[in-house]
Structure 1
Amino acid sequence: MNTHKKLEEVWPQMEDGIRKLKNILEGVPGESQFDSDTYMRLYTTVYDLCTQQGRHDDAIHGIYIETYHTYLRSRVLPAIQEKHDVFMLRELMKRSNHEVMNGEEIDRTLVKHVLEFFVNMDVSARGGLGYYVNDFEKAFLTDTADYYTRKASSWIQEDSCPDYMIKAEECLKREKDSVNNFLHSSTEEKLLEKVQEHLLLNNAQQLLEKEHSGCHVLLRDDKITDLNRMYRLFVNIKNGLDPITAAFKRHVTSEGTSILKQADDAMATGKKEDKAAAGMQEQAFVRRLIELHDKYYAYVTNCFKKDNLFYKALKEAFEVFCNKSVGGSSVAELFSTFSESILRKGGSSEKLSDDAIEETLDKIVTLLAYIDDKDLFAEFCRKKLARRLLFDKNSADDDHERSFLSKLKQQCGGQFTSKMEGMVTDLALARDLQTGYDEYVNNNDLTHPGTDFNVTVLTTGYWPTYKTLDLNLPTEMRQCVQAFKEFYQSKTNNKKLTYLFSPGSCSDLIVSTHQACVLMLFNDSDKLSYSEIRAQLNLTDDDVVRLLHSLSCAKYKILTKEPNTKTISKKDSFSWNVEFTDKMRRIKIPLPPVDEKKKVIEDVDKDRRFAIDASIVRIMKARKVLQYNELVTACVEQLSRMFKPDFKVIKRRIEDLIAREFLERDKDNTNTFKYLA
C-alpha cells in the first residue's frame, strides 16, 4: 500500500538522478549509465507523486521544464555556439544525434541527423514544424535566394540562353535531390520556388531576349531541344510562360506577314505579265501558309506539350495575316481557289494521291478557323462547286467532295455546308432522273424529240443564282423541253420547272445554250442583222453583245460580221462562216468572262444583311428590351462564327427594322430598343 509522499522529501533523490543524467550527457569520465534498480526507483517516485491524493504533477512538470531549459542554455547552447561549420555540427550531433547541411562536400549522415533533430524537437514539443521552419528553414531559404541571385548575376552575363537554361535545370534537379536526401518534404515546394524565382523569373526578360541566343533565335533556328527545356523550366512558374507565348506569337506573326508581303509582290508582278503565273503564285502562297502552320503547330504539340496558351498564341498570330488581302484578293477567296485545285482531278500538276488530297483538305479546313469572313469562303466554294458539278463532271470526285463538306461541317457547323450538301445530293438525284428520262424517250417514239437532251434538275435555294432570261428557243429545243416536261410531270406532283439556259451547253461544237440558239437562227437565214437576232432571241442588249462577240470577234469566228471590226454594234449584220475549219474535233467557244468575284461579294453582303436582321430579331424576341451596346455585342457574338459584322451595318439594320416595325425606340431613352411582337 502506497503512503503519501511530499515533494520536498523526495527531491534530493530526484536531484541526484538529474545530476547523474547531465553527467552522462556531458560524457563525464567514470559516470556509469543508470542501472535498472535506480531507474525504477526514480520512475516509481515520480509516478506516485503524480497519481496520489494531493498530486504534484504540475510542480514536477514545471521543475522538468525549468531543468531542461537551464541545461540547454547553460551547457548545450554555449558548446554549440563556440564552434563553427562542421565542428559545430559534430558538436550538435554529439549532444542530440542530429546533423545539418552547409552546401560544401559534407558528411551526409551528419546533415540528415541534424535536420531530424529539429523535426523531432517539434514533435516532442507541440506536434508541428515550428522549430524546423523558424530556426532552420527560413534562414536556409534566405541563404539559397542570395546564393542563386549571385549565380544568376554572373551567368546571365557570361552564358547564352541555352547554356543558362542547362545550368538552371541542373540546379533545380540538385535542389530537388537535396530534399530527398536531407530536408523535410515540406521544404521542397518552397525551395524550388526560390530557385525558380532567382534564377528564372527575375531574369526572364533579359534571358529570353538575348540578341544572339534568345527565344526568337531558338524559334528561327529550329532549336527544338532548347525550346523544350525552356517550356519545362517556365511552365511551373506563375505567369512564367507569358513572355514565351508573346515571343512565339510575335515570331509567327512576323514570318506569316513576310510570306504575305512576298506573295503580294509576286502576284502583282504576275498579273501584269501572265495570268497563269499569278495563279501559280496564289497556289504557292497558300502552300507556304500550310507549311508555316504545320511547322509551328508541331512546335506547340511537341516543344510546348499542347499547352493551350501556345494554341491561343498560334491562332492569334495567324488571324493577323489571314485576314488581309493578297494581290487584290482576300485569303478566303484564295483558300477556296486552292481547295478547288485540289478537288479537281487533273487540276494539279502534282497528281496527288487520295491520301494526300484528304490531308491537304484537312489543313485548309484547319486554316479556315483563322479567317473572319468564313461566309465569303463558303460562297466562293459554293460557286466553284456548282461549276465543278455542272460543267466538269469528269473532274470532280464525289468521295472527295463529300469528305471536304464533312470536314467543313465539323469545323463550321451544319448551316455552313447545308446548301453545298444539297447541291451534291441534287446531282446524284439528277443522274437517276436522267436515266429515267432516257428510258422514257426510248420506249415512247411519239415523244422522242430526235435530239439528245440532258437535264439537270436543281433545287431552288441550294444553288447560286443564275440569270433567268425569257429566251425564245428554236423548234428543236422546244420539242426537247416539251418531252422532258411530260416525263417530269408523270413522276412528280406540284413541282414547277423553271429553265435556266445560261449554265447549259451544246456539243460537238461546245457552246452555251444561248450561243447555240444564236447559231441555230442561221439554219433558216443566211444573214441576220443585230436587231433581228435580238428580237428573235428576246434578250437584252448586254447579253446579245456578249454572245455575238464570242461567236464573231474572238478566237473562233463561227460567224462573219459586217463591218469586220472587233466590237459589236447595233448596225452590224452577221452570216454563217462557211470557210470555218479547225484541226480539233471538239471546239469550245467560251463567252467573255464576267466578274464573278464582284457577284460573290454582292451576294455575301446581301446574305449578311439578312443574317444580321435575323440575329437582331432573335435577340430582341428573347430579351424584349435592350440598350444599343448590349444589342450590338450580342449580335456580334452570335454571328462571329461565320463573319465579323461591321458596327455601322448593324446600326443601319436596326434602323431598318425600326422602319419595318420589328423594333421601336424607348420614348424616354432613344438608346434603348423594344421588341414589337
Structure 2
Amino acid sequence: MVIKEPIQWEQGWGLMQEAITKLKNILEGLTDEKSFTSEEYMNQYTTIYDMCTQKLPCEFNKELYDKYKEIFDEYLNSSVWPSLRDKHHEFLLRELLRRWNSHKVMTRWLSRFFRYLECYYIERRTLPSLNTVALSCFRDLTFDKVKAMATDAIISLIHKEREGEQIDPSLLKNVVHIYVEIGVYEQDFEVAMIADASTYYARKATNWIEVDSFADYMLKAEESLKRERYRVREAGYLHSSTENKLVETVQHELLVTHATRLLENDNSGCGVLLRDDKVEDLSRIYRLYHEIPKGLELVANTFKKHVTSEGARLIQQVEEASNSQTINSSSGVQEHSIVSKFIELHDRFMAYVKGCFMNNNIFHKALKEAFEVFCNKNVAGIPSVELVAAFCDNMLKKGGGSEKLSDEAIDETQEKVVYLLVYNTDKDLFAEFYRKKLARRLLSDRSANEDHEKSFLCKLKRQFGGHYTSKMEGMMTDLVIAKDCQRSYEQYLHINQHVNPGIDLSVTVLTTGTWPSYKSCSLNLPSEMVKCVEAFNEYYTSKAKHKKLSWAFSMGACNIHGKFQKKTIELIVSTYQAATLLLFNNADKLSFLEIKTQLGLDYEDLVRVLHSLSCVKYKILCKEPNTKTISQNDIFEFNSGFTDRVRRIKVPLPPIDERKKVVKDVDKDRKYAIDAAIVRIMKSRKTLGHQQLVLECIEMMSCMFKPDVKVIKKRIENLIGQDYLERDPNDANAYRYLA
C-alpha cells in the first residue's frame, strides 16, 4: 500500500499561486485565455481539498481561509484601486462597473477553488462565507473610497436627463445595482439622490411659479412625477424601493410646499414678493388678509418658511465652502461671514415685519420661530453659539477689524448679536465659549477697547440677568486688581533687592471659579524661572497669608534671547517652550525622553511644544529623524544656524480644540442647574405630578437652555436617592418634597 505524502504549505500554495496569477492576467487582459479548463479547475480544487483534509500539523484550513482574503486585498490594492483613483464623472462609473464585473468573475473562480472551505470549515465555525469576504474586501478597499464621487456622478447624470440631455441608462442601471448588491443602496445612494431631487424640484418649483400660469405649473408637476416613475419602472436604473420615497419627495416640493400660496396668481406669491423686495405688494397682501379670519396665519406661515429657507441656504453655502478646506477651528467655517449674514438677514426681514406687516405680533412670532430653526443648527459640526462667540471675539480683539468701525457701529452690532442670542436655546453654552475667548483677550492683552468689552457685558446683563455675566465681570475686575498687584510686586523687589531674581516677571493673579479652568501641570522649571516664582511666592505670601497660589504655567508667555550664529533673535514663546529651550543651555543634544524626564510635562503637551519648535515655520530645534511628526525616539539639537529677517518673532503653539471640554463642562453645570430648579419648584409646591414638574422645570430653564426630558427624569431619580424627594404613596406619577 502506497502512503501519500502530505502536501506541505509551500508546495500547495505554490500551485495555487500559478492559478491566481493566471486569473489576474485574465482579468487584466494580459492573456488570450478567457477561462480555466476543467482539468485546471479540478487540479486547484483537489489541491485545496488535500491541504484541508490532511492530518495535523499539515491541515491548513485556517491558513487557506486567511489567504483567500489576502488574495483580494492584494489585487484590489495593487490593480483595482490605482485604476479608479484618478478617474471622475462618467469615466469613473464605467471603470467601476468594469472592475466590479471582474471582481465577480474573480470571486466566482476563487470560490470554486476554495469550495471545500465553504462546505466544511466555514460552516462549522460560523465564519463569514467566501462571497461575504470577497464582497467586504471590495467594499472596504475600493467602493468606500469612490462611493462619494460615484454617487455625485450618478446624480449628475440623472440631473442631465432631467434637463433633457441624452444619457446611457444601462450604465446607470448597472452601476446603481452595485450599490444594491453590496447592500449600501439606501444609505450611500438613495439618501443623497433623494436630497438632490428635493433641491432640484424645489428650485424648479420656484422658477415655474415665476413664469407659468397655475395650470401650466400643475401640468409640469404631473409630467415630472411621470418621469420619476419611469426612472424606476421602465428605465429601471433606480431600485423599486425608491419609487415611493422619490415620488413623495417630488410631490412635497412641487405640490405640498405651495399648497398654501397666498394668491392663486403665480406671479404674486408671497415668497416671490419677499425675494424681489416688493414692499408695496407685501403691504397690500397684509392689508387684504388682515381682514380674513386666520388669513394672516397663512401669510405668516409662508413668511416663516421663506425666512427659514434663506437661513438654511446660508448655512449650506458656508458648509459647502468649508468642505473644500481642512477645518481646524471655528475660523475654518468663516464665522465672521455666517454671523454677519444672519444679522443682515434679520435686519432685512425685521424691516418687513415693522413696515409691510405693521409690526403685527404674529409676524414677530413667525420671524422668531424661523430664526430658532437655523440659529440652533451646527454649522460644519460647530455649535452656532461658538460661531457667535468667535464673531464677538473678532469684533472686540486687536486687529479683528473693529478699528475700522465707529463706536456707534460697534454698539449697534453688539445689540444685534444679543438679539440673535435671544433666538438661541444654548445661551449658557455661548457664555462659556465667550468667557474662554474673553479670558484669552484679557490675559494676552488683545482686547481692542475696554469700554467696548464692558458695553457688551452690560447688554448681556440687561438681556439675560446679572448671574449670566457675573463671572465675566469678575474677570474684568481681576485684571484691574492684578495690575495693582504687579505694581506692588515691582515696588517690593525694588525695596528687597536680595530676592530680586534679575529677570522681569509679570504675574496675573486670577480668582478660581471666575475664570475658565486651566490645566495645572507640575512643570519642572529651569533654575532661572524657579527664582522668579519663588520671589513672587514670597511676596504674595507676605501680602495675602490666607490665600494660596496655584501656578497655571500652560497660560504663561516668555521673552527669551536666542543667540544664533548670524544674530541674536528675541523669541516670544510659551512657558513650556521657554523651559524646553533653556535645557539646551546645558546640553548639545537631548532625546525626547530626556526632555520629558527633565521637564515632567505630559506626553501630549511635550509633543505640542516640540512640534512647534522643530516641525513648523520656525525650526529653533533640529530633529532627528527630520520628519513632520514627533515620536519618543526623536533626538533634538539646538539649531545654531537658524535665522530670520526680523529680530523678534513669536513661536506659536499648535491650537487645541477646546470645544469638547466646553460642551462637557456646560453639560455638567446643567445637571446642577436642573437639580436646583427641581428642588426650588418642589419646595414651593410640596406635591406635584411628574408631567407638571417636567414642564415647569423646562420653563424655568428655558432662559438659559432647553433641558432634555430624559435628563430631567434622571435628575429626579437622583434627588429621590438623596432624600430630597419621594414618590407619593397614593399616586405613582407624583412626587413629594422632603423638608
TM-score by length of 2: 0.60
Equivalent residue number for residue 271 of structure 2: 216
Is 1:446 aligned with 2:493?
Answer: no
Rate the CA distance shift 1:350–1:454 in 2: closer, same or farther, 3 A: closer
1:471 shift after superposition: 1.7
Equivalent residue number for residue 39 of structure 1: none
1:365, 1:415 → 2: CA distance? 16
Equivalent residue number for residue 494 of structure 1: 546
Rate the CA distance shift 1:260–1:513 in 2: closer, same or farther, 3 A: same
Rate the CA distance shift 1:451–1:277 in 2: closer, same or farther, 3 A: closer
C-alpha contact 1:268 1:278 (8 A) present in aligned 2: no
2:299, 2:263 → 1: CA distance? 8
Equivalent residue number for residue 130 of structure 2: none
Task: Give percent identity, aligned residues only.
Answer: 58
Q: Any residues of structure 2 matched to 1:133-212 within 5 Å, and which?
A: 208-212=263-267
1:318 shift after superposition: 0.8
Equivalent residue number for residue 288 of structure 1: 341
Equivalent residue number for residue 354 of structure 2: 301
1:394 shift after superposition: 4.2
SS at structure 2 position matched to 1:451: coil
Rate the CA distance shift 1:237–1:478 in 2: closer, same or farther, 3 A: same
Moved more, 421-430 or 542-551: 542-551
1:513 shift after superposition: 0.9
- State the AA in 2 paired with 1:243: L
1:585 shift after superposition: 1.7
SS at structure 2 position matched to 1:525: coil
- State the AA in 2 paired with 1:454: S
Equivalent residue number for residue 580 of structure 1: 642
Is 1:530 aligned with 2:585?
Answer: no
Equivalent residue number for residue 520 of structure 2: 468
Larger Rg: 1 or 2?
1
1:308 shift after superposition: 1.6
SS at structure 1 position matched to 2:423: coil
1:644 shift after superposition: 0.6
Equivalent residue number for residue 456 of structure 1: 508
Equivalent residue number for residue 410 of structure 1: 462
1:381 shift after superposition: 0.6
Equivalent residue number for residue 681 of structure 2: 619
1:206 shift after superposition: 7.6
Q: Any residues of structure 2 matched to 1:302-341 within 5 Å, and which?
A: 302-341=355-394
The Cα offsets for residues 599-652 of structure 1, whole Å up to 9 and x where unpaired, read as 211121111122112222222222232222122111111111111111112122
Equivalent residue number for residue 365 of structure 1: 418
1:665, 1:479 → 2: CA distance? 61
Structure 1 unmatched runs, 5+: 1-159, 161-203
2:391, 2:702 → 1: CA distance? 24
1:460 shift after superposition: 0.7
Equivalent residue number for residue 297 of structure 2: 242
Rate the CA distance shift 1:644–1:460 in 2: closer, same or farther, 3 A: same
C-alpha contact 2:353 2:364 (8 A) present in aligned 1: yes
Equivalent residue number for residue 261 of structure 1: 316
1:552, 1:220 → 2: CA distance? 54
Moved more, 615-624 or 332-341: 615-624
SS at structure 2 position matched to 1:671: strand
Equivalent residue number for residue 610 of structure 2: 548
C-alpha contact 1:346 1:395 (8 A) present in aligned 2: no
Equivalent residue number for residue 720 of structure 2: 658
- State the AA in 2 paired with 1:573: I
- State the AA in 1 paired with 2:617: K
- State the AA in 1 paired with 2:619: K
- State the AA in 1 paired with 2:320: D
Equivalent residue number for residue 6 of structure 1: none
1:237 shift after superposition: 5.4
1:277, 1:518 → 2: CA distance? 30
1:411, 1:257 → 2: CA distance? 27
2:402, 2:703 → 1: CA distance? 35
1:442, 1:223 → 2: CA distance? 73
SS at structure 2 position matched to 1:411: helix
Equivalent residue number for residue 637 of structure 1: 699
Rate the CA distance shift 1:207–1:340 in 2: closer, same or farther, 3 A: closer
1:276, 1:645 → 2: CA distance? 25
Moved more, 571-580 or 590-599: 571-580
The Cα offsets for residues 5-64 of structure 1, whole Å up to 9 and x where unpaired, read as xxxxxxxxxxxxxxxxxxxxxxxxxxxxxxxxxxxxxxxxxxxxxxxxxxxxxxxxxxxx
Corresponding residue to 1:228 among 275, 279, 283: 283
2:448, 2:544 → 1: CA distance? 29
- State the AA in 1 paired with 2:661: K
1:297 shift after superposition: 0.7
Rate the CA distance shift 1:646–1:220 in 2: closer, same or farther, 3 A: same
1:262 shift after superposition: 2.0
1:206, 1:572 → 2: CA distance? 69
Is 1:421 aligned with 2:473?
Answer: yes
SS at structure 1 position matched to 2:265: coil
C-alpha contact 1:389 1:396 (8 A) present in aligned 2: no
SS at structure 1 position matched to 2:324: helix
Equivalent residue number for residue 251 of structure 1: 306
Moved more, 633-642 or 240-249: 240-249
Structure 2 unmatched runs, 5+: 1-212, 214-258, 560-569
Moved more, 297-306 or 547-556: 547-556
2:404, 2:330 → 1: CA distance? 18
Equivalent residue number for residue 134 of structure 1: none
Equivalent residue number for residue 442 of structure 2: 389
Equivalent residue number for residue 143 of structure 2: none
1:210, 1:493 → 2: CA distance? 81
1:661, 1:382 → 2: CA distance? 35
1:490 shift after superposition: 3.6
C-alpha contact 2:261 2:270 (8 A) present in aligned 1: no
SS at structure 2 position matched to 1:329: coil
Corresponding residue to 1:646 among 708, 712, 732: 708
1:506 shift after superposition: 0.3
Rate the CA distance shift 1:450–1:221 in 2: closer, same or farther, 3 A: same
Corresponding residue to 1:430 among 463, 482, 499: 482
- State the AA in 2 paired with 1:226: D
Rate the CA distance shift 1:551–1:345 in 2: closer, same or farther, 3 A: closer
2:721, 2:485 → 1: CA distance? 47
C-alpha contact 1:624 1:675 (8 A) present in aligned 2: yes
RMSD of aligned alpha carbons = 2.6
C-alpha contact 1:639 1:645 (8 A) present in aligned 2: yes
TM-score by length of 1: 0.66
Is 1:608 aligned with 2:670?
Answer: yes
Equivalent residue number for residue 676 of structure 1: 738
Equivalent residue number for residue 690 of structure 2: 628
SS at structure 1 position matched to 2:498: helix
- State the AA in 2 paired with 1:463: W
Rate the CA distance shift 1:521–1:270 in 2: closer, same or farther, 3 A: closer
Moved more, 522-531 or 381-390: 522-531
- State the AA in 1 paired with 2:736: K
2:477, 2:584 → 1: CA distance? 39
2:503, 2:701 → 1: CA distance? 50
Equivalent residue number for residue 478 of structure 1: 530
